[in-house]
C-alpha cells in the first residue's frame, strides 16, 4: 500500500464530505465548499469520521493515484476548515504593490506596471511598512489555486542571483552568486 494513500483523512468538526455516484467529492466546511472529480478506479468511503481511499490493484498507475487523491482530499478538508495563506515579498528599489478589490497593481522596475486580476476565491492584501519590503498576502480555501496564483505573481519578476531583486516567497532562500571581480 501507498504510505500516504493508506492513511485515513480525519474530518474535523463542522466539515462534511459527500461522494456523488460520478465519483465527485464535495467537501463543505465553515470557510466554504470545494469539489474535486476523483478517478473511477479509486474507491472512497467514509468510516467513523474518516475518509478512506482504496485502490483495486498494485499497478503503478493505481499506486500513484492512490496517494495523489488522498493528499488532494486532505488539502480540501484543511482548506475548508482552516484555509491556506501565502506571503510574497517584493525586494528591490522602487518596487511597490497595491490592491483595489481583486486587482493587484505591481510596480516591478519595468517601464509599465503589471495589473493582475485575481480569482474571486483568492483574497489579497498588500502592506508597505517603512524599512521593510512591500508584502502581498494571499488567502484561499483552495491550496491548488492559491499556489497557481502565487506562482504567476512570482513569475512576473523572479529573484535574480546577483543582487537578489525580484518577487519571492517570504520563506524562500535565494542563492547569491559572486559578481565579476575587477581585472588588474
* Predicted local confidence at residue 140, as pLDDT: 95
- Contact between residue 20 and residue 26 where contact means Cβ atoms under 8 Å apart: yes
Region 166-175: what's the mean pLDDT?
Answer: 92
Q: What is the pLDDT of residues 109-148, one digit of tens each?
A: 999 999 999 999 999 999 999 999 999 999 999 999 999 9
Q: How many Å apart are CA 125 and CA 115, to the nearest integer?
A: 15
Instruction: Give the CATH architecture of domain 9-81.
Output: Alpha-Beta Complex (3.90)
pLDDT level of residue 77 (50, 70, 90 thresholds): very high
Given the candidates 3.90.930.12, 2.40.128.20, 3.40.1190.20, 3.40.50.1970, the CATH classification of the domain at 84-169 is 3.90.930.12
CA 93 vs CA 2, 90, 150: distances in Å: 48, 9, 21
Kindly state the helix (H) or strand (E) to which residue 77 belongs, with its residue range: helix 60-81
pLDDT level of residue 13 (50, 70, 90 thresholds): very high
Region 20-49: what's the mean pLDDT?
Answer: 92
94 is written with which cell numbers?
Answer: 522602487
Q: How many Å apart are CA 41 and CA 112, to the nearest integer?
A: 50
Q: Do domains 9-81 and 84-169 have the same CATH topology?
A: yes
What's the pTM? 0.88
Radius of gyration of the chain from its Cα atoms, rounded to whole angstroms? 21
Ordered by start, the domain boundaries in the chain are 9-81, 84-169
Amino acid at each position: 500500500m501507498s504510505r500516504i494513500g493508506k492513511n485515513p483523512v480525519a474530518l474535523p468538526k463542522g466539515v462534511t464530505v459527500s461522494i456523488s455516484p460520478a465519483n465527485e467529492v464535495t467537501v463543505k466546511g465553515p470557510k466554504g465548499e470545494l469539489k474535486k472529480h476523483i478517478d473511477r478506479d479509486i474507491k472512497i468511503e467514509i468510516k467513523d469520521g474518516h475518509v478512506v481511499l482504496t485502490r483495486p490493484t498494485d499497478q503503478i498507475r493505481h499506486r500513484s493515484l492512490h496517494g495523489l487523491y488522498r493528499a488532494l482530499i486532505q488539502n480540501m478538508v484543511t482548506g475548508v476548515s482552516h484555509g491556506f495563506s501565502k506571503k510574497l515579498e517584493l525586494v528591490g528599489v522602487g518596487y511597490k504593490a497595491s490592491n483595489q478589490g481583486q486587482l493587484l497593481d505591481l510596480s516591478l522596475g519595468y517601464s509599465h506596471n503589471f495589473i493582475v486580476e485575481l480569482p474571486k476565491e483568492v483574497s489579497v492584501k498588500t502592506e508597505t511598512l517603512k524599512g521593510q519590503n512591500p508584502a502581498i498576502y494571499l488567502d484561499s480555501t483552495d491550496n491548488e489555486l492559491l499556489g497557481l496564483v502565487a506562482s504567476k505573481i512570482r513569475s512576473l519578476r523572479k529573484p535574480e542571483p546577483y543582487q537578489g531583486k525580484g518577487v519571492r516567497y517570504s520563506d524562500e532562500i535565494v542563492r547569491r552568486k559572486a559578481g565579476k571581480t575587477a581585472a588588474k
